[in-house]
Structure 1
Amino acid sequence: MTAVARYAIYYTPAADTALAEFGASLLGYDAWTGGEREFPSEIRDAVPDWTELTGDARKYGFHATLKAPFALTDARGEAELCAACASFAAAPRAVPLIRPVVDAISGFIAVIPGDASPALQELAAAAVTAFEPFRAAMSPEDRARRKPDLLTPRQRDHLDRWGYPYVMEDFRFHMTLTCRLSDVRRRPILSMLQDRFAALELSTLAIDRIALFRQPSASSRFSIIGSWPITTT
């Protein structure tokens, strides 16, 4: 069977930033280079199964989803998608500013906004809409993997309309660091990661770029093939 590449429109911090280093080192993978990274020794010592706890997040690289992974429709190609990314980023818009914090979200640990951000919601909704013409129709198997019976009616509508349930009103910005953890397991790990994040002294974060990630096959990791700064209003 021929491997089918998937693409995703994500936010990810610029490669030379402290936040990018924070995420890549914790996940053990740098999506900018496609290379492995050593976990910090203190993380390995404190959490011996850290490799397993970050396995799913490692596959995608350190990111926040704007347009969830999709295969290209037959009518569109990668070069055209890159051009659309450049065009989207060049359209002047408000660049969201958030207060980033490390906290739990649905049992996962992630970097999330400390406060609501209407501008961030608008950016994500615009990305979902703008790149929809590139998305191939979802297969019944892909739909089933989203466990639609466990979704709300609105999320099922989003799944069928946009190929992903957590968009528009259900969008929640997050840059995942771990898998879902029990409360008992999560508490000490969360405290450790919060202390590590505090050392960055990152009081505000501009969501000022989009990146195009590509996954060559289902068994591959995503890596960055293009990045575009957002033009401010």
Structure 2
Amino acid sequence: MKRYAVYYAPREGAFAFRANEWLGREPGNPRDLPQTVLPGIGDPRSITAEPRRYGFHGTIRAPFRPADGVDEDLICTTVSDLAARLRPVTCEGLRVEVLHGFIALTPLGCEDALLQLGAAVVEGTNDLRAPLTEAEIARRRPNRLSSRQRDLLDRWGYPHVMEEFRFHLTLTDRLDEPEPVRGALADYFGPVLPRPFVIEDLCLFGEDATGRFHLMHRYALSG
């Protein structure tokens, strides 16, 4: 794997099954799945290319290249140790909303606990990552970041961490007219949205040579 990331991904069940059907892949399976076609929004493949590449997930530690001397065993051990000492996060539920032009599921009623979990994982994995290259910095469009976000990028390798962290589960690419899709997805996911919604694992994902991410290991939060 050329990059690694720490994500939330749901355990097997109706919620995970429906999300995987929507995106057309299961993160632990390299083969594509037939995608669900929802009334009135056309071919789902045309609006899900980016989230399909990553698999259904919520980012906790954004993708990073391993530092010199860091191998997969060390990454696995570090994430496993973090999960063993961190507690699950329980939220009231999830809602379907438009974020910056794309559709995502966002949690309700757990902001402080999510910020604490995100900060602990970012801090605990920071020594695993290689320094950002100039090209990697440029891809984050630093001219569009606030001064605080640029500081976070320099310190932690990603601008949307610590108090800037906003947990979400992406469902579409950016859309010109997102509201009809949001409504269709609210109907589609409504029956299976978990209440409460619990983040109960740290999931280690790896990016292969083609740019696709795969679920490698699941570590229960048991602190």
Give the structure-2-normalised TM-score: 0.95
Deviation, 1:22, is: 1.9
How many residue pairs get aligned? The number is 222
Gaps of at least 5 residues in structure 1 are none
Q: What is the DSSP-based 3-state SS (H/G/I as helix, E as strand, rest coil) of the residue aligned with 1:38? A: coil
Q: Which residue identity does 2:9 align to in structure 1?
A: T
Deviation, 1:201, is: 5.0
Q: Equivalents in 2 of 1:85, 1:116: separation in Å?
A: 22
Select the residue among 192, 202, 223 that pairs with 1:200: 192
Deviation, 1:116, is: 4.5
Cα RMSD (Å): 1.4
Q: What is the DSSP-based 3-state SS (H/G/I as helix, E as strand, rest coil) of the residue aligned with 2:192? A: coil
Q: Equivalents in 2 of 1:20, 1:180: separation in Å?
A: 22
Matched residue, 1:96: 89
Whether 2:54 is the aligned partner of 1:57: answer no
Deviations 1:69-121 (A, max 9, x none): 00101121001111111111111x33211121111122211111133521111
Counting aligned pairs with the same residue, the percent is 35
Whether 2:96 is the aligned partner of 1:105: answer no
Q: Which residue identity does 1:96 align to in structure 2?
A: V
Matched residue, 2:222: 231
Deviation, 1:48, is: 2.3
Q: Which residue identity does 1:50 align to in structure 2?
A: P
Matched residue, 1:87: 81
Matched residue, 2:154: 160
Select the residue among 3, 6, 11 that pairs with 2:8: 11
Matched residue, 2:172: 178
Q: Equivalents in 2 of 1:224, 1:201: separation in Å?
A: 21
8 Å contact kept, 2:94–2:193:
no
8 Å contact kept, 2:88–2:221:
yes
Deviation, 1:197, is: 1.3
8 Å contact kept, 2:41–2:180:
no
Matched residue, 1:32: 28
Deviation, 1:202, is: 2.2
Deviation, 1:46, is: 2.9
Whether 2:16 is the aligned partner of 1:23: answer no
Deviation, 1:34, is: 2.3
Residues 1:112 and 1:167: Cα distance change in structure 2 (over 3 Å): same
Q: What is the DSSP-based 3-state SS (H/G/I as helix, E as strand, rest coil) of the residue aligned with 2:166? A: coil
Q: Which residue identity does 1:210 align to in structure 2?
A: L
Q: What is the DSSP-based 3-state SS (H/G/I as helix, E as strand, rest coil) of the residue aligned with 2:136? A: helix
8 Å contact kept, 1:96–1:117:
no
Deviations 1:177-199 (A, max 9, x none): 001123xx211110110011111
Q: What is the DSSP-based 3-state SS (H/G/I as helix, E as strand, rest coil) of the residue aligned with 1:30? A: coil
Q: What is the DSSP-based 3-state SS (H/G/I as helix, E as strand, rest coil) of the residue aligned with 1:74? A: coil
Whether 2:128 is the aligned partner of 1:140: answer no
